[in-house]
Chain A
Amino acid sequence: TLSQPCLHISSIDASVALAMSGVITFISAKDVPGQNRRLWFNNPEELFAEEEVICVGQIIGAIVAETREQAKRAAEQVAITYQDIQPAFFTIEVFEAIEHQSFFDPKRKLERGNVEEGFKKADHILEDELYMGGQEHFYMETQGLIAIPKAEAGEMELYVASQHAAYTQEVVGITLGIDSNKITCHVKRLGGGFGGKVMKIASLSAIAATATYKTGRAVRCVLERGDDMLITSGRSPFLGKYKVGYMNDGTILAADITYYSNGGCTLDESSFIMEKALLHMDNGYKIPNLRGHGLVCKTNLPSYTAFRGFGGPQGLTIIEGVLHEVATRCGLPAHQVRDINMYKDEKCYTHHKQLFSPRDMVQCWNECLEKSDYTHRCLSIEQFNAHNHWKKRGISIVPLKFGIGFSKGFYNQVAALVNIYKDGSVLISHGGTEMGQGINTKAIQIASRILKVPMSSIHIKETCTGNVPNAAPSAASFGTDAVGMAVKNGCEKLMRSLEPLIKKHPQYTWQQLVVEAYCQKISLSATGFFMGPHTSLDWEKSEGNAYYYFTFGACCSEVEIDCLTGDHENIRTDIVMDVGRSINPALDVGQVEGGFVQGIGLYTIEELQ
């Protein structure tokens, strides 16, 4: 890796490296049999940098060797000469990208009401900005894969750490110029994903596949932690510039917020992330006149990508910051100002005109206030602060409205394949990816309930593009929703065909039933499919049902700050989360807690340099 972005590549010389022991070959753009450049929603993505390098950590070539140590040593010996071309800009807080108007298209806007009118009627106007930094995924297992060539017809098997096996399959196919039906991607499980193993892993897979293609041997590529953090990047930093018009009692009449996100050097998922941020800019508040602009800045950093929440946290943070500022200026308790502005009516519309009921959010809010003993603790905190000069405590309670599902409607689909074998055992293959969230456990639970067989008879081996094609990524908090429904559908199909047999032989055990079905030539395999909601958004009109439904919650945290050292301690947190009818409470609690901890990291202690 180099330490300066924005350079023109003059020459690449791998001769010294190739002469080293154990080194098999060096691959770069010219070794790509198919396409080195491809389009991702009309934005170019390059596998190997051919002429220009646009960020630090961009991949120019790869050394293939017998062992990792040999490869590392040889990689350092590859000589690349560069020419400086243009000024590089990195960050949005230094306004470089904004100054140079370096943005990706499309630029988005959402609006409801009339913001200018709202400002006129308001008692006060507030203009300020809030910046939040990015975050590194830091999944325990770094990104990696093994690509294995098969003897015939260009077949290749890849064992990948990916949340989106189908996309990896697609990219490998484009890169090698081989049809998807000959490329199979397997994912058994991930050591954590968090959104980071969707996009970049496809490029890594294509690189390893190119090496496999050229050498005819199985190739393993696993990133070391430092490289992983640099190359695959993380959550986009956001800058929110806002103008708010509010009344003396804290009611916010109008808010105009411009979001700038750091998209990095390629578009990747940044425009979708910005869309989600805009779609969440209202959080739980019925601000009547609301306008949001979203601009994704193009900078010379490794491309920022998806991360748990996908722009939601960034959008929510800015509006919560606004609420807090308004409360401070009004001299009113923050929770009161939040309460005044909250959606309360039975039927409410978001700023993108999606109908929903905030009933559950209000319930979570009230329950959290009660369970956290908010009012009493406020008083004791005031007392504490009065008596402590250098240590201060604070408490805050925040509501949450979070959209579930993809706003890009076509992603809301998933399939599952359910096979029953003659010995009665069941094998399920679904389009989702297990990364510790327990999707496989829940899928087995669902199948067990419908087929009426114990969970021990049901097995999920892996996610495989050969079993379930074109699966959407396991993302958008939608995995279990979708996969669960697909598995349910598949199992129900099987039960329907087995029903006549069950009626005829009610005394049969499951295994006898299965054997009888086989003898009666009744299919023991079924595909389940879930066609999710038709979500979409008309950005011109600022309207559309962007999400399947909303998940609500509320969280109250108490923190103690040391005014001298700047250190802080999290004293107590109460989270009330509406998870509907939980399929598996243990898993759900784990997910909520894990998400909370990642949030603590994001907002308080993690900082990207």
Chain B
Amino acid sequence: MSSLSVNSELVFYINGKKIVEKNADPEEMLLAYLRRKGFFATSVFSTSNHTDVTTFLLFYDHLHDRLFKLKMNACLQPICSLHGAAVVTIEGIGSTKTKLHPVQEHIAKAHGSQCWFCTPGMVMSMYTLLRNNPQPTMEDIRETLGGDKQICILMDLIYIFRSMNSNAEHKNLKILFSFF
């Protein structure tokens, strides 16, 4: 990722807060790091590449002068690869303590969850989609949520698709995070 300067400290952001790690473990994955630091809503289904997306990543590529807004598998992302990037977890976009993000609210109201284990992943997938494309089509939504293995609520996805679609098309989402 970005190489602003040669540095022995790992510097990145989680939910807008600057993190400086002096002795970052090169083998440590973001998932383990997040859970260690108390971000418990990010969880793991399996450590292979075709499941679960639970965090949102923002980084600025100096070489190509571009801002990337991506979703990623926290279980496969080494923290050292995140130097200079901003990571957003579900706790960062909304909660019952602060205020629910519209994506969270929609899923809850549409009965879009049963045991809720996969829901953070779905929320972050949708959040990423909306950050990149505020007016997604049904096909975009289907594509985006396809990677999350929600066995029990596959049917409920229909409700969510419909509610997300109305969310995307009729609401004007405010972007809650500013860049560093």
Contacts and interface: CB of A to CB of B under 8 A. Distances in A.
Contacts of A438: 114
Interface in A209-224: 224
B87 interface: no
Interface string A138-151: 11111000000000
A532 interface: no
Nearest to A137: B151
A226 interface: yes
Contact of A225 (B45, B115, B116, B155): B45
B43 A597 contact: no
Contacts of A189: 115
Given A586-B111, A593-B156, A191 B151 contact: no
B117 interface: yes
B155 A437 contact: no
B59 to A, nearest CB: 26
Interface string B42-53: 010111100000
A27 B70 CA distance: 43
Given A593-B156, A596-B155, A597-B152, A225 B46 contact: yes
B149 interface: yes
B153 A594 contact: yes
A434 B47 CA distance: 26
A141 B116 contact: no
Contacts of B118: 140, 191
Interface residues of A, number: 30
Contacts of B155: 590, 593-594, 596-597
Interface in A572-591: 586-587, 589-591
Interface string B142-180: 000000011111111000000000000000000000000
B139 interface: no
Interface residues of B, number: 22
A598 B32 CA distance: 31
A454 to B, nearest CB: 18
Q: Point out which of A190, A435, A591, A597 has the most chain B C-beta atoms below 10 A from its C-beta.
A: A597
B27 interface: yes
Given A69-B27, A225-B47, A226-B46, A597 B154 contact: yes
B45 A436 contact: no
Contact of A190 (B115, B154, B156): B115
Contacts of B153: 590, 593-594
A573 B18 CA distance: 51
A294 interface: no
A192 interface: yes
Contacts of B156: 590, 593
Interface of A: 68-69, 138-142, 189-192, 224-226, 434-438, 586-587, 589-591, 593-594, 596-598, 601
**What are the 9 A-B residue pairs with the smallest beta carbon separation, nearest first?**
A436-B115, A191-B117, A225-B46, A593-B155, A594-B152, A436-B114, A140-B117, A597-B154, A586-B111
